[in-house]
Amino acid sequence: MASLSKKIVAVILGGGAGSRLYPLTASRSKPAVPVAGKYRLVDIPISNCMNSGINRMFVLTQFNSASLNKHIKNTYHFSAFSTGFVDILAAEQTPDNPGWFQGTADAVRQSLRHISNLDFEYILILSGDQLYQMDFLEMITDHLQRGADISIATIPVHANDATEFGILKTDEASMISSFVEKPKKDVLGDWISATSGAMQQQGRVYLASMGIYIFNKSVLNSLLKDHHPNATDFGKEIIPNAIENYKVASYQYEGYWTDIGNIASFYEANLALTAEIPEFNLFDNSNVVYTRPRMLPPAKISGTTLEKTLIAEGSIINASRLDHCVVGIRARIGYGTTVVSSYIMGNDFYETLEVMQENVGKGIPKIGIGERCYIKDAIIDKNCRIGDDVRINGGKHLENTDHPLYSVKDGIVVVKKGAILPNGFVI
């Protein structure tokens, strides 16, 4: 297995502008969005690679990439005696290509001149905005056993979900015979594939592409450079065309996987981590999620009733009650405050007592959440200053809106990064 992993290079796609995750992506790329209180989304695919023994990775970036670049630079350092690396490949203008990345396939095509300098046989292409734990070596082994040119990780989904994904049809040998992007409900009957007994019992009989691909090096070069030099997207163009001319295998995955596509899915994925036995297991010796090592003190909690809540290091919590919450690094929550079903991202720094007093004199709330607040169904982005007696009551009764200090999407209130909510503010 160790020798096999040396034949693989991973490419993690940084994604586009991430408009569906706005306002969390107003100043950062999707893979840089904080998740689970102390990680970034990009840590998930990188950790999956490292846990699979794959330690040569490129992250392709374009939009709002400064915080992502900083995170990777500060986090992923391999030994001087290792060949491992996590390198950023930013979109760049060249004499023969003056444009930015036009899509997933175009991003990989433009980056091939850097990637191809390495010695490898297989390229693993991953998304930077999904939450899952997968052993990629099992997928590579399956790819080799089938003699495939391309393998696509697929997950069985229900009819209700099938219309949101690219759906693949497989033959008796689990080779992909056809592909349709976001099919309408009335044609779904033609797209049923063979899935395991457990999946069939749940009605999960449609195979959705997870956006995780393995290509043989020569096949990828041929597709991107020779056969489809103008194709910009893997899902819409490269894969459907490859099915006709190459052996394309389906690698069925039945574990937990969620695509962090919008605010609702991001919110639900984070709060799902507070379950007694969460489907995405952070407490797993064999599937460690790696991130930047911070020299922070333990969380300090005083007089707070906690129910199904994750609290990251460096937090100072004096709240009355936290119920079904994720609380990020260096968070500060004042006395008498109640927070329900919310994700508090925390802060990038501590304020000194002198600065706090100075700001209070100017009428500026302390960094964090003040006293006697009530916050429900919310995402509080980093470095917010929420005053005393603030009430944020999210829910379906709220209309979607975008305010200078916050946005509301699907009933979830997202307080924007660095926003200042004065005492008594009500949403």
Q: For 130-177, how does the pLDDT look when each residue is reduced to its tens digit (9 = 90+)?
A: 999 999 999 999 999 999 999 999 999 999 889 888 899 998 888 999
Which whole number is the average pLDDT over 231-237? 81
**Domain locations in the chain?**
2-272, 300-421
Q: For 242-273, how does the pLDDT look when each residue is reduced to its tens digit (9 = 90+)?
A: 998 899 999 999 999 998 889 999 999 999 99
Provide the mean pLDDT of the chain: 91
Range in 75-79, 134-138, 342-346 with the lowest mean pLDDT: 75-79
* pLDDT score at 263: 96
| 351, pLDDT greater than 80 | yes
* pLDDT score at 19: 82
* pLDDT score at 229: 77
* pLDDT score at 53: 93
* pLDDT score at 418: 96
Tell me if 2-272 shares its fold with 300-421. Answer: no
| 241, pLDDT greater than 60 | yes
pTM to 2 decimals? Answer: 0.93
Query: Which residue shows structure tokens 């693949």?
Result: 168
Query: Which residue shows structure tokens 């592909």?
Result: 179
Q: For 366-381, how does the pLDDT look when each residue is reduced to its tens digit (9 = 90+)?
A: 999 999 999 999 999 9
CA 64-68-73 angle, to 5 degrees, is 140
CATH architecture of 2-272: Alpha-Beta Complex (3.90)
- Cα 161 to Cα 252: distance, rounded to the nearest angstrom: 17
- pLDDT grade, residue 202 (50/70/90)? very high
Which whole number is the average pLDDT over 413-420? 97
Range in 142-146, 281-285, 415-419 with the lowest mean pLDDT: 281-285
Q: Which residues pair with 325 in a beta bridge?
A: 309, 342
Decide which of 308 and 108 is more confident.
Answer: 308
- pLDDT grade, residue 318 (50/70/90)? very high
* pLDDT score at 283: 92
| 92, pLDDT greater than 70 | no
- Cα 333 to Cα 384: distance, rounded to the nearest angstrom: 11
Give 308-329 as a DSSP string: EEEE-TT-EE--SEEEEEEE-T
Cβ neighbours of residue 120 closer than 8 Å, sequence gap 6 or more: 7, 8, 9, 56, 217
SS3 state of residue 382: coil
**Which fold is adopted by the domain 300-421?**
UDP N-Acetylglucosamine Acyltransferase; domain 1 (2.160.10)
- First-to-final CA distance of the chain: 54
* pLDDT score at 46: 96
- Cα 324 to Cα 420: distance, rounded to the nearest angstrom: 24
Helix, strand, coil percentages in the chain from 3-state DSSP, rounded to 5: 25, 30, 45
